[in-house]
Amino acid sequence: MIKMIALDLDNTLLNSKKEISPRNEAVLRKLHQQGIHVVLCTGRPINAIWPYIEQLGLTEPDDYTITFNGGLVINNRTKDHLFEMGMDKHDLAPLLHFVNAHHIPLNVLDFDQVFELNDFPGSIYRSVLKHIKFRNIKAAQLPGETFSKAVMAISPEKLTPIIKELPADLKKHYHAVQSQAMIMEFLPIGVNKAAGLKVLLKHFGDDFSNLMSFGDADNDLEMIEAARQGIVMANGLPAVKKAATAITDSNDDDGVATYCERFFATQL
């Protein structure tokens, strides 16, 4: 029995205008009102997606969001952390060495703000991530605290060759995923959306057999594989589609609503 619906945002629930369509909103609101947990799963902090949370009415006491690609599970109303997992400056050292050697812009996030390293300017992350504080500092000035992830945010033309040249030992040190054409994320090993969802499902006394997930990109793969119903958008990546239990319409054709209307036909 499906008791939770997990939804990636960009290129999945959101259309190309970065909007939740009226049709998607209506379907998800009705399912939420019937007691199904609707959980947004994103690489962004909760403040950056708050308008979407309010649009869907996900502000009840038992509403949670998976943020930082699984690194933080947060209660929407209280902002209490159900689960968090990060890394320290020592963990970041191999990545900092790599970007320094290749003069690559980098952003490092804790759970509240973005440190935009100005050793090598050129990041476009400010144009991608809204409603969060940015601080310009040198890599050597990073504070000694817990970080959620590091991000390369540059044009796809510049990012693609960098990804192809990532050393094998660097990939082993992080869970490295490309969440958008212009964004490469470096997460702690073991952090992904499925890891956060596992904690949340357990919190409600459920497991992956009670989960339906929607996604399109590499950072959605684990939750697509783990869910009883792993649904990938028509615009999804080929490798992610291979893991799907079903393919739905594209994000610009209300693919989330299309599938839910069929699957939950007796409830809608």
Please report the domains of the chain, with CATH numbers, ordered by start residue: 4-84+191-263 (3.40.50.1000), 89-187 (3.30.1240.10)
pLDDT of residue 130: 83
CB under 8 Å to 119, separation ≥6 — which residues?
Answer: 99, 100, 106, 138, 139
Average pLDDT over residues 52-66: 98
Q: How confident is the model at residue 179 (pLDDT cuts 50, 70, 90)?
A: confident
In the chain, % helix, strand, coil (3-state, to 5) comes to 40, 25, 35
Per-residue pLDDT of 193-222, as tens digits, reads 999 999 999 999 999 999 999 999 999 999
Q: How confident is the model at residue 52 (pLDDT cuts 50, 70, 90)?
A: very high
Interior angle at CA 89, CA 92 and CA 179, nearest 5: 40
pLDDT of residue 171: 86
Average pLDDT over residues 144-172: 93
Give me the count of residues in the chain.
268
In the predicted model, is pLDDT for residue 113 greater than 90? yes
Average pLDDT over residues 58-80: 97
Cross-strand partners of 149:
109
**H or E element in which residue 233 lies:** strand 229-233
Predicted structure pTM score:
0.91
Dmax of the chain from CA atoms?
58
Write b or e for each residue in 203-226: b if 16 or more Cβ atoms lie within 10 A of its Cβ, otherwise e. eeebebebbbbbbbbbbbbbbbbb
Environment class of 101 (CB within 10 Å of its CB; exposed 0-12, middle 13-18, buried 19+): exposed
Average pLDDT over residues 156-183: 92
pLDDT of residue 78: 97
Q: How confident is the model at residue 133 (pLDDT cuts 50, 70, 90)?
A: very high
Q: From CA 244, how far away is CA 171, in angstroms rounded? A: 25
In the predicted model, is pLDDT for residue 253 greater than 90? yes
Average pLDDT over residues 230-249: 97
Adjacency order of strands within the sheet including 246-248: 81-84, 72-75, 64-67, 37-41, 4-8, 211-215, 229-233, 246-248
In the predicted model, is pLDDT for residue 169 greater than 90? no
Average pLDDT over residues 60-72: 97
Per-residue pLDDT of 81-110, as tens digits, reads 999 999 999 999 999 999 999 999 999 999
HEC secondary structure over 36-58:
CEEEEECCCCHHHHHHHHHHHCC
Enter the tokens of residue 156.
């796809």
Average pLDDT over residues 47-66: 97
Q: How confident is the model at residue 250 (pLDDT cuts 50, 70, 90)?
A: very high
